[in-house]
Amino acid sequence: MTNIREIARLAGVSTATVSRVLNNHPYVNEEKRRKVLELIDRLDYVPNSSATSLKKGMTRIVGVVSSLYTASSTSFIQAFSLIAQRHGFNIMIFLTDQDPGKEKVALEMLRSKQLDALVCLHRANEWNFIESYAKYGPIVTWQRLVSDRIPSVFMDQYEGYRLGLEHLHARGFRRILNVYSSRGLNTPQRMRAYADFAAAHELGGSGHPDFHGKMSLEDGEELAHWWIDQSDPPDAIACSNDDVAAGLLTELRRRGVSVPGEVGILGFDNNNLARLLDLSTVHYPSDKQAENAFSILLDRLGQPAPQPHALAFELIARQST
């Protein structure tokens, strides 16, 4: 394989001259530059990117670790990738399927300087294990975390969920069923929001146990079948995300149920499905969170960084309520 020394020998110049040509340095004799460029083209020479990165101290690659794809995580990754590209960085995605070993691969690449930084969307290892790698490069997370070593761009789900519940109440719904996702760190905040909301408005609940672990379109369709089978169903359903709400809404309409005449439906995220189906939802600015995450990483890498966005949830009222 051709290397920089071989190019220098054939061109009759020093390796330093070849290096200056490769880096487009202005102070190179034009005849020497022409010879070097001709040889580079003829021999199809490509600089060793690993060696270049080692010399410059940066790979300009950021790892993105996630246990799964969801509508909101896809939005986050897309926004993160776009802002990274605008600043001359690429991303490497690690889908772990909640396997700690797969996540460790990304952490080890950070330790060996194959990555400049990491953003952790959904972790597989314990936080204290992940934090032990922060000395090798900056790590930021999307998950709810208070840490001196790993900054987080999470938003308090209490505020967003309470906003949605107040909207349902203002529209006249009183027997609201809560549909939660997993029992992660966000779900307790949503549960607390409902407890405070119900106490403030002196509500007695929907008359049915809340649902947990519901995240998909199929979960929403099953929820629709459950609602139809009830003799005294709730008059509104607050869903864990827009996918569940979309599955619920389309299946109820397919069965001839009037929405919101017989039941109001509220999503969460404000993804494309919500816009297409005219679904009321809470806008969760995951794209702005992604841009904030990149700004934090860029700052910790010692690079000029954009000012982070101020983040807030927004109620998007549509036909389903």
The DSSP line for 207-231 is SSPPB-S--SHHHHHHHHHHHHH-S
| CA gap 171, 185 in Å, rounded | 29
Q: What's the confidence (pLDDT) of residue 183?
A: 60
pLDDT exceeds cutoff 90 at 194: yes
pLDDT digit string, tens, across residues 158-187 = 999 999 999 999 999 999 999 998 766 789
**Sequence ranges of the domains in the chain:** 4-55, 59-155+286-310, 157-283
Q: Cis before residue 26, ω within 30 degrees of 0?
A: no
How confident is the model at residue 50, as a pLDDT?
52
Q: CB under 8 Å, gap of 24 or more: what pairs does 228-235 form?
A: 228/252, 228/255, 228/257, 232/207, 233/208, 233/263, 234/175, 234/176, 234/177, 234/206, 234/207, 234/208, 234/263, 235/173, 235/174, 235/175, 235/176, 235/262, 235/263, 235/264
Contacts of 142 (CB under 8 A, 6+ apart): 73, 76, 119, 120, 121, 122, 152, 153, 154, 286, 289, 293
Is it true that domain 157-283 has CATH number 3.40.50.2300?
yes
Do 157-283 and 4-55 have the same topology in CATH? no
Show the tokens assigned to 270.
């404000």
Q: Is the pLDDT of residue 70 over 70?
A: yes
Quick one: what percent of the chain has pLDDT higher than 70?
Answer: 95
Of the candidates 152, 163, 92, the residue with the CA atom closest to the CA atom of residue 122: 152
The predicted pLDDT at position 55 comes to 53
Of 33, 11, 32, nearest in space to 24 by CA: 33
Residue recorded with tokens 């389903």: 320
Q: How confident is the model at residue 250 (pLDDT cuts 50, 70, 90)?
A: very high
Task: Please say if the pLDDT value at position 277 is more than 90.
Answer: yes
Select the CATH number that applies to the domain covering 4-55 from these four: 3.30.870.10, 2.40.50.140, 3.30.565.10, 1.10.260.40: 1.10.260.40
pTM (2 decimals)?
A: 0.78
Taking the CA of residue 195 as centre, how many other CA atoms within 13 Å lie in the half-sphere pointing to its CB?
6
pLDDT at 1 over 60: no
- The band of 2, judged by pLDDT with boundaries at 50, 70 and 90, is low
Q: Is 51 helix (H, G, I), strand (E, B) or coil?
A: helix
| CATH class name, domain 59-155+286-310 | alpha beta
**Can you give 237-304 as a three-state secondary structure string?**
EECCCHHHHHHHHHHHHHCCCCCCCCCEEECCECCHHHHHCCCCEEECCHHHHHHHHHHHHHHHCCCC
Predicted confidence (pLDDT) per residue in 127-160, tens digit: 999 999 999 999 999 988 888 899 999 999 999 9
